[in-house]
Chain A
């Protein structure tokens, strides 16, 4: 089967820290 890209990994994001700094 063709290789599937790990798009879930790419979509995992850090929380915004804008109001914590």
Chain B
């Protein structure tokens, strides 16, 4: 049943078995085409298994669905070093911490350190306490001089 498939999907995710998770998401989609949880699970599972080209193909295949996958596409473009395209995709998205983190990484790669620091300031307003975030802020401060 659908419930059994989602249980299996859940346990693969818990065990970091992302390739298997993507396969089970496909099984869900065979029964329930366009299921939003399955679509998002497949996209995230492909990203987490570093299958960036496969993720982009999947996103393209899901294009007709009313599910906003722009952030994931922007992330994949960033990974493929298409940073201007990635930044453009982020334009229409709400500035939540996930979007701001990607934006800061893109701006850093573009060498736009002032704008990069502005993104970090916006992230800090969400009171996120992360050592990795601090590491990136220090990197931007050093690069900004």
Contact = CB atoms under 8 A, between A and B. Distances in A.
Contacts, number: 69
Interface in A1-21: 1-15, 17, 20-21
Size class of the contact patch on chain B: 35 or more
Given A2-B139, A14-B13, A7 B101 contact: yes
Contacts of A15: 36-37, 40-41, 44
Contact of A8 (B48, B105, B130, B143): B105
A6 B105 CA distance: 8
A20 B2 contact: yes
Contacts of B133: 7
A15 B7 CA distance: 13
A20 B138 contact: no
A20 B47 contact: no
Nearest to A16: B37
Contacts of A5: 132, 135-136
Contacts of A7: 101, 105, 130, 132-133, 136
Contacts of B13: 14, 17
B6 A21 contact: yes
